[in-house]
Structure 1
C-alpha cells in the first residue's frame, strides 16, 4: 500500500449537500449494467459500452449530485481521464470485488485489493464503498471482520467509509423474510464503525406510507451512523416517495443509480436523454432530501 497522502482527511461533508443531506449518484454497477443494456439491445455488450455510458452519466449528472460512486473495472480511470466529475461532487470509489458463483454474477464479495485507498485519496477520491452480502445462515463474524478491515483501510488513508449491506436468501433452506433480514443486517452492521450506512428500502418502496415509515424507523433504531437508501429494487416512479419517507424516519438521503438513469439505457442520444430525463429527476430527489432535512 502506498503512503498516506498529506491531504486533510475527508469527511461526510465532502459527499453532502449544503443542507447536510446526501443526494449521491451511483454508476458502479458492473455485470448488472451489462444485463440492462443486453435487455434493451438484445446483443452482446462490450466493456466500452459500459464505460462510455458511465463517463457520460457522470459528466451530465454529477453537477447535481453531492457524490458519485464509480467502479474500478469500467469507470474509475475513465471518469478521471475525462475530468467528468464536477468539482462540487465528491468522488466515491467502489472497493468491493464481486465473486461470481452458482450461476449469478455476485455470489460473494471481498475487499478489492486492486483499489489502493491512499492512491485513491491522492487522485481525488473522498470515500470508498463496500458491498456486504448478508445471509442469515453465514457467519456474522466474517462479515464484521471484513467491514472492520475496510473501515481501517479507509481511516488510514483519510477516506470516508461507506458500507452497503444487501440481504440475500440463505444458502440452505427456502424460508426468507426479506424485511426482517434488512433490519437484522442493520442491527449487525449498524454499529460497525463505518461512517455511512447504505441500506435497502423496505418493501421496495411499494407499500403504504405508514408501513414504510415503521419499517424505516426500525432501521434507524438499529443504525448508529448516518444512513441513506439505495434504489435497486425500487421503481423509479416510487423512489422519490421512498426517499421522503426514509428521511422522515431518520435517513439522511440516498445513494442511487437505477432510479436516476436506468430509463436512459439504450437511448440513441444518451446525453440528450440524460439531460431531459435524468437531470430533472436527480434535481427533484435532491430537493426532497433538502426539504426533509429542513423539516427536522
Structure 2
C-alpha cells in the first residue's frame, strides 16, 4: 500500500489494526428484511432506506465498530453532513450496483453504480471504497468481464491514491448440483482470491471458504495483503464459529452485515434503536472479543 492507502486502511481498522466493519450497503436485500410483501418492498423509498441505514450507523457502527460500509445511493453523504457518523468511525463506500446482469452463457456480470468512481468517493467523504464482483474461476469464459472491472477500479483508485477493498463472491451455476457446488466451494474461493490478487487488489473481503485449510491457503496467497471474512447472511452463532477459524488461520478481521442486524432493523426507528443496541451491539462485541483473543495469541 501507498502511505495514503495505508492511512485509509488504519482508519477502517481498530486500534490494534484489525478490521471490524459493519456492512450496510445492501438495498434490495434490506428491503426484503423490512417488508415480506413484494409490493410493500417497492414502497420503501431511497430516503426511508437511508434512514434505516442511519439507524445502523448511529446505534451499531458508532457504538462498537471501526468502520461502516454504505452504498452511495441511500445514506451517503447524509450521514456525514448531519454528523450521524462518528468522527472516529471510518466510512467505506460501495461501488457496486444492487443485483447483477447475466451473460448469454448464464454467467453473472457485476454492475457498478453510475457516476461513482474514486474521485466521487473522496468527494462523498469516504475513507475508501468497496468493490464487489462475482467470479467462477473453474468455469471457462465466466470471469473476464468482471476481472476487467477489478483491474479498472484498482487503476482508478491507484490514480486517486485512495483505499479500495475488493470483495469476491461466487455462485452456483445453472445445472450444477448443490452437493457438487459445495464440494468445490473451498477451492473456488481460494482461486477467487488468487485472481483478485493478480488484478492488483490490496485488501480483500472474502466469504468464509468452508475449511481451516482453505483459510490458510488464502492467507498464504495474500502474503502482506489483509483479508476480512464476510458473514453472507448466516446466523450469528454460525458466523462466530467461522470467524474463530478464519482468525486462527490468518484473517485480518471481519466485514459483517446481516448476521449482525438482519433481525434488528425496522421501519420504526425506535424499534431499530432498541434492537440494534440490545442485540446487534453485543453480537459485534462478541466478534470483537474473538479478534482480541487472536490478537493476544500472536
Name the TM-score class by shorter chain.
0.7 to 0.9
Which residue is equivalent to 1:209? none
Aligned residues: 279
Q: Which string of whole-angstrom CA distances, capped at 9 and with x for unpartnered residues, describes residues 212-269 of structure 1?
A: 3223112223334110000014221121221121011000110011111111033751
User: In 2, distance between residues paired with 1:265 and 1:107?
Assistant: 29
User: In 1, distance between residues paired with 2:100 and 2:214?
Assistant: 31
Q: TM-score, normalised by structure 2?
A: 0.84
User: In 1, distance between residues paired with 2:38 and 2:99?
Assistant: 26
Deviation of 1:42 (Å): 8.7
Describe the SS at the equivalent of 2:263: helix
Which residue is equivalent to 1:24? 21
Contact 1:111 1:150 in 2 (8 A): no
Contact 1:68 1:91 in 2 (8 A): yes
Describe the SS at the equivalent of 1:263: coil
User: In 2, distance between residues paired with 1:201 and 1:67?
Assistant: 20
Deviation of 1:35 (Å): 1.3
**Cα gap change, 1:285/1:172 in structure 2, threshold over 3 Å: closer, same or farther?**
same
Describe the SS at the equivalent of 1:110: strand
User: In 2, distance between residues paired with 1:293 and 1:196?
Assistant: 19
User: In 1, distance between residues paired with 2:99 and 2:287?
Assistant: 32
Which residue is equivalent to 1:75? 75
Deviation of 1:179 (Å): 2.6
Deviation of 1:161 (Å): 0.8
Deviation of 1:41 (Å): 10
Which residue is equivalent to 2:134? 133
Describe the SS at the equivalent of 1:287: helix
1:281 to 265, 274, 283: 283
Contact 2:8 2:127 in 1 (8 A): yes
Deviation of 1:291 (Å): 2.2
User: In 2, distance between residues paired with 1:262 and 1:15?
Assistant: 22
User: In 2, distance between residues paired with 1:270 and 1:99?
Assistant: 25
User: In 2, distance between residues paired with 1:112 and 1:229?
Assistant: 24
2:190 to 183, 186, 191: 183
**Cα gap change, 1:30/1:217 in structure 2, threshold over 3 Å: closer, same or farther?**
same
What residue ranges of structure 1 are gaps of 5+ in the alignment? 1-6, 204-211
RMSD, matched Cα? 2.5
Which residue is equivalent to 1:167? 170
User: In 2, distance between residues paired with 1:14 and 1:188?
Assistant: 26
Deviation of 1:29 (Å): 0.5
**Cα gap change, 1:154/1:172 in structure 2, threshold over 3 Å: closer, same or farther?**
farther
What residue ranges of structure 2 are gaps of 5+ in the alignment? none
